[in-house]
Amino acid sequence: MTLFYFVRHGETDFNANDNAYCGRSDVSLNDLGIKQSRAMAAQLEDIRFDHVYVSPLERAVQTASFVSDDFEVDERLLEIDFGNWEGLNKQQISKKYSENWNDWQTTTTGDVAAGETGETMIETFERINDLIKALNNQHPDGKILVVAHNTIIRLLFTGLIQGRWSSYRSFKCGNTSISVLKYTKDDFEFITLNDNHHLKGVL
């Protein structure tokens, strides 16, 4: 049995107030994101992690550094490639790429490319699921911290339960939220989802 602690990075100016789709844009935490990350690290300070794996994007690396300076970067933890949606907010996307946006919102097959040229939900799920399965085999009975991004975490959880792809947003994943997954060779169990109690009092 391996325990995975999934943490979404702290806030950036891109995602403040549900603003713009950040995707592969390599942006840094804003001031609130730094405060959130400190609070998250305090929440986890009593847990001894055997390994820490982090997306190569700066916002994830910064977030992880508040927990440990000993971590491994893995490309499979990159946020989804949003294609032409990159840097746009929902209103802009729905207006400029209305057909692609509608297909993304309603897909049952998960094979719609985000932003016309980006990744599909299935492609995104498969790369992070491959990583989690590999880590489970490499670190049996370990406690693993994974610092990554909103969409890939939610797509991982959706794929694991074989849920409707277009309903991936049913899994909430706030900035520096903590979700814990118990993983065995043949099964998994959600222990905690979107825990953000550590943010109480963080402005």
- What pLDDT digit, counting tens, does each position of 60-79 carry? 999 999 999 999 999 999 99
Of all residues in the chain, the percent with pLDDT exceeding 90 is: 91
pLDDT score at 17: 67
Report pLDDT for 185. Answer: 77
pLDDT at residue 101 in the model: 97
Q: Looking at the DSSP assignment, which residues form a beta bridge with residue 73? A: 54
pLDDT, residue 186, reads 80
Mean pLDDT along residues 6-26: 89
Tally of CB atoms within 10 A around 108: 9
Cβ–Cβ < 8 Å for 35, 201 = no
The reported pLDDT for the residue numbered 199 is: 97
**Which residues, 6 or more positions from 165, have their beta carbon under 8 angstroms from its beta carbon?**
107, 108, 109, 110, 121, 122, 155, 158
Q: What is the pLDDT, as a whole number, of residue 19?
A: 80
Cβ contact 56:78 at 8 Å: yes
Catalytic residues, by residue number, are 9, 79
DSSP states of 21-77: --TT------HHHHHHHHHHHHHHTT---SEEEE-SSHHHHHHHHTT-S--EE-GGG
Mean pLDDT for all residues in the chain: 95
Confidence category of residue 18, pLDDT binned at 50, 70, 90: low
pLDDT digits (tens, 9 = 90+) for 135-177: 999 999 999 999 999 999 999 999 999 999 999 999 999 999 9
Top mean pLDDT of 12-21, 35-44, 133-142 is at 35-44
